[in-house]
Amino acid sequence: MKIRTNDDIRRVVESTLIPHTAFQSAVQRLQQGLDYSLGSSEPICLAVVGESRTGKSRVLEEVESTRPRSRTANGAVVPILRIRVPSSPTVKGLAELMLRALGDPNWEKGTQNNKTARLQTQMKKAGTIMLMLDEFQHFFDKGTQKIFHDAADWLKILVDETRVTLVVCGLESCLPVLLRNEQLSGRFLAPIFMRRFNWLDDGDREAFVGILDSFTVAVSEHFDMPDLSGEGMAYRCWLATGGLMGYLTKFLRQVVWTACDEGARKITLEDLRKAHQLSVCSATEMAQEKSPFSRSFSAEPTQEAISIALSLGEHVQSVQPERPSRRQKAPAKPSLAQTLAAT
């Protein structure tokens, strides 16, 4: 029997991979593209899209782990090359990131054309068969509605020249890049959507409860704790995390961390409430007495509570008006006639 150290216990949540249906389907699609890439008449292109914290990057990590890097007498072998797309991506910047990820010591040197040529050569030498671009939404500026066409066109040529399978991953705001850029639109297969679990959907609710059951089994090996998949408790956990896998993982990780730091071997409802407050950022700033893990909380589903939960993780922009500067006069109040006309 393997003896678990305290560090092992701290990482029990991260080390527990729960391949739910959406996750398995996404991994299978990417694995299929990887397996058939060499025999395809044209490069295979796939997009993994969805809200933040739905597990998109975890899908990339799982597929990447099936073809790990290695080193031979001829140099590094990098079957899967993965980078994060920076804000306002440029050809030069992308080429440098990829060269650096391949281990090129001179990744900053050379002209744009020189870097591109070196990159193509090194990808072939390293046996790269899949290129993963995370945070692909940066190819599209939502504010200006601008697509970084130069970078997108360069990416298409790179994929054509190296014959790798291309996987892009990001928020749904990246879809215009694929739909409006003629160099890319015809290359991609149907997008792989990673969505949050919706409590009102029977299939989603069942899958979420199953995930909670798996986490309960893993964590309860080390702590005496409530059954998170039990009636009422599963709904509390869903409200606390909005059905987002990323938030659920953060929440449970905090539960374990706190218990380890305090030397506790029992996790209570109060411990869950404190961990939730420490781990999940919410623009609604739910009052303490309304916490899903407070003893006075009613586990009877309501439309208001569900709507609040479904808003977790959404980007919130400030709607507060800017104060006029000293040099800038405040706008004049509308006249009575203007007010009546507006109504």
Q: What CATH number is associated with residue 126? A: 3.40.50.300
Lowest-confidence region among 210-214, 301-305, 317-321: 317-321
Q: What is the 3-state secondary structure (H, E, C) of 237-301?
A: HHHHHCCCHHHHHHHHHHHHHHHHHHCCCECCHHHHHHHHHHHCCCCCCCCHHHCCCCCCCCCCC
What distance in Å separates the CA atoms of residue 192 and residue 56, rounded to the nearest whole number?
10
- pLDDT band at residue 4 using 50, 70 and 90 as cut-offs: low
Return the closest-CA partner of residue 50 out of 42, 60, 41, 40: 60
* Pure H helices in 171-227: 175-180, 182-185, 202-219
What distance in Å separates the CA atoms of residue 323 and residue 268, rounded to the nearest whole number?
47
Return the closest-CA partner of residue 289 out of 278, 277, 281, 297: 297
Q: Is residue 15 part of a domain?
A: no
57 shares a domain with 171: yes
Q: Is residue 335 part of a domain?
A: no
Q: Is residue 316 part of a domain?
A: no
Place of tokens 């397996």: 35
Residue 321 in this model has a pLDDT that exceeds 50: no
What's the domain count of the chain?
Answer: 2
202 shares a domain with 124: no
181 shares a domain with 39: yes
239 shares a domain with 119: no
Contact in structure between 131 and 164 (CB atoms under 8 Å): yes
Last residue of a domain, one of 194, 222, 239: 194
Q: What's the whole-number mean pLDDT along residues 88-101?
A: 96
101 shares a domain with 113: yes
Region label for 309, one of left (φ > 0), alpha (ψ between -120 and 50) or beta (otherwise): alpha
Q: Is residue 275 part of a domain?
A: yes
Q: Is residue 336 part of a domain?
A: no
188 shares a domain with 80: yes
What distance in Å separates the CA atoms of residue 224 and residue 217, rounded to the nearest whole number?
11
Q: How far is CA 261 from CA 7, 10, 255, in A?
A: 11, 9, 10
Return the closest-CA partner of residue 290 out of 271, 304, 279: 304
Which of 14-23, 74-83, 302-311 is predicted most confidently?
74-83
Q: What's the whole-number mean pLDDT along residues 161-172?
A: 94
131 shares a domain with 42: yes
pLDDT digits (tens, 9 = 90+) for 22-80: 899 999 999 999 888 777 778 899 999 999 999 999 999 999 999 999 998 888 999 99
Question: Of all residues in the chain, what percent carry a pLDDT higher than 90?
Answer: 63
Last residue of a domain, one of 194, 223, 248: 194
What is the per-residue pLDDT for 315?
55
Lowest-confidence region among 122-131, 188-197, 333-342: 333-342
- What rounded mean pLDDT belongs to the chain? 86
CB atoms within 10 A of CB 134: 19
Which residue segment(s) compose the domain that 216 sits in? Answer: 197-310
Q: Number of helices (H) and strands (E) in the chain: give both, helices first.
A: 14, 9
pLDDT digits (tens, 9 = 90+) for 260-283: 999 999 999 999 999 999 988 654
165 shares a domain with 115: yes
246 shares a domain with 154: no
What is the per-residue pLDDT for 236?
95
- pLDDT band at residue 233 using 50, 70 and 90 as cut-offs: very high
Q: With the C-alpha atoms ordered 271, 273, 214, 281, is the resulting torsion angle positive or negative? A: negative
Q: What's the whole-number mean pLDDT along residues 237-241?
A: 95
Q: What's the whole-number mean pLDDT along residues 253-258?
A: 94
275 shares a domain with 185: no
- Top pLDDT among 12 and 115 is at 115
127 shares a domain with 56: yes
Q: Is residue 323 part of a domain?
A: no
What is the per-residue pLDDT for 122?
96
- pLDDT band at residue 19 using 50, 70 and 90 as cut-offs: confident
If you count them, how many residues does the chain have?
A: 343
Q: Is residue 12 part of a domain?
A: no
Residue 259 in this model has a pLDDT that exceeds 90: yes
Q: Is residue 318 part of a domain?
A: no
Residue 212 in this model has a pLDDT that exceeds 70: yes
What distance in Å separates the CA atoms of residue 336 and residue 342, rounded to the nearest whole number?
10
CA atoms within 13 A on the CB side of 139: 29
173 shares a domain with 26: yes
